[in-house]
Amino acid sequence: MQQLLSGLDHCHNRGVLHRDIKGANLLLDNNGILKIADFGLATFFNPNQKQHLTSRVVTLWYRPPELLLGATNYGASVDLWSAGCILAELLSGKPIMPGRTEVLFGYSCCDQTCRWLHYRNNAVFSACHNLNNAIIFCKSVISFITLSVRINLVHKRFRDECE
């Protein structure tokens, strides 16, 4: 994982997004040195400049929620999400979000997110059977997570200032 993250850091610092990080694109030589391969979907990016990119990148199992929802303005986070999926795969011994189609994967994403958040509301699960509802729900979950992260950061800053 350290080699993968170092390699991604190298790419991102040079303005390159790989956009297809997956196990099949990670090669190990006889000395255990990792090589990131297949830059066919790679593109240049500038984190300080808005640019519209396609959301039809990254192999489905490793595609971040924002791309599933059609985002066209993204950055290094898409590669980092994929790296996180690979880490989870290494730890669990199996893919964490396998899917054959975007519709099934969208539902699976909502289902897995509910499980990770320990959210057990049957109305939510049944609403996710409709893709439009699943997309609305995923956007809500992403907003909730983003808000939670921001609240935690504000709380940490406040706590640090009080000490």
CA 10, CA 160: separation in Å to the nearest integer? Answer: 32
Query: Which pLDDT tens digit goes with each residue over 14-57?
Result: 999 999 999 999 999 999 999 999 999 999 999 888 888 887 88
Map out the domains of the chain as residue ranges. Answer: 1-98, 101-163
What is the full DSSP assignment across 36-77? Answer: E---TT-EE--TTS-----S--S-GGG--HHHHTT-----TH
**Ranges 64-68, 78-82, 141-145, most confident:** 78-82
Contact 64, 81 (CB under 8 A): yes
Contact 124, 137 (CB under 8 A): yes
Average pLDDT over residues 141-156: 65
The CATH architecture one would assign to domain 1-98 is Orthogonal Bundle (1.10)
Contact 133, 111 (CB under 8 A): no
Q: Which are the catalytic amino acids?
A: 20
pTM of the model: 0.65
CA 50, CA 33: separation in Å to the nearest integer? Answer: 35
